[in-house]
Structure 1
């Protein structure tokens, strides 16, 4: 009986030792496997950082993004013009307008015409440019200009037909006559001084392109043609009221019949 108990105790001890040994080996294997997995992950991450191709691709994407942003900024700058609107408007000030805007758009941005504004003096369809000053005249201002022009016509002196040009000035300080159809090809030729103006066929706009000829004198020339027929020579233009020797000297090299 005692022998049986001894054998049972021996097997029990052996079983416990076996279980302990197997358990330790399993834990060691799991720890070793975990360490190997971590090492592989670290190697992959390090390889990704050290890979020149990966770094190059990232830099290229960043450069592309920067270039896209810069190009967008340039497009925005080129699509906007800044103008100064003053005079007979409700809210004088500096305004940003989209490229290709007209004087009418500038007036609208400035709150519209004031009550005393002469709404028909300027060519509202003229395209504005960056840095342009646009002064809307009052009715009194344009009336005074017309009276000055009429007085010059009656005395035969040279009228300052450009006296109203200061209402629109470019960023370079150059006055713009908005009463001329600047987009018209024939007007552009007359303005350039490379072509002659036929006083028998010229329109009012073409006549106004001549130095010393304002709207009143242009109307007088056209009226004279209608009543007396065409001019025989350029000197005949001095038969028109308000055009005398001084004015003729200014335009004789620019006119023909």
Structure 2
């Protein structure tokens, strides 16, 4: 792996902006929280695990894959910050076992959709009305290249949920654009996070192999990464920071892929 990248940041770019980032205690979500906070934003974040060391002003411990959790987070964000200007739906992931479609129970399907699709749908429904009242706001849904390039061995349900999230994001942009709210999606490929390494461990355990073999199996299933490495969370955060900024004021209803060239088609 290459060393983690460093970027020059305008520490006032998001001054006065109130942000909610879901899944902000680890991996890409944590990098997004930090990137927006150092650029002057007041950031709230949520996750199921305790906060630890975070750059956010407000942390809400909740499970946003449930309606109750989403309601708790939305209420805390509005009460604690007085409203939200930017929403980044970073929460997501998969706990599916290896073994293909037959290994996925109804409960696994429900869990994957609740986390990777319905968490965003519910929070949007709770938070967008106050954006509409102001006539401004920006939303980013973090999807995945697996919506176009699913890994059949382990992440069918996750990929299907992310495909639904991308479609939902596009439909939402059509409705909200005329009301002054921009909606975009970001589709990462393989990102170097603790979650991606946990998936490697699960696949290795299921196959009775070592982690390097499992990691190579993922690379083979993806068809390789032309730049020769997964992306760093900080690189994804940099793209999202651009998309929610005034620099991207004309970018709306789009999905940006950040995968090192993994997807082989136009």
Higher relative contact order (CA 8 A, sep 6+): 2
Query: Same fold by TM (over 0.5)?
Result: no
Shorter-chain TM band = under 0.3
Structure showing the higher strand proportion among its residues = 2
Provide TM-score, normalisation by structure 1: 0.25
Provide TM-score, normalisation by structure 2: 0.24
Structure showing the higher helix proportion among its residues = 1
Greater CA radius of gyration, 1 or 2? Answer: 1
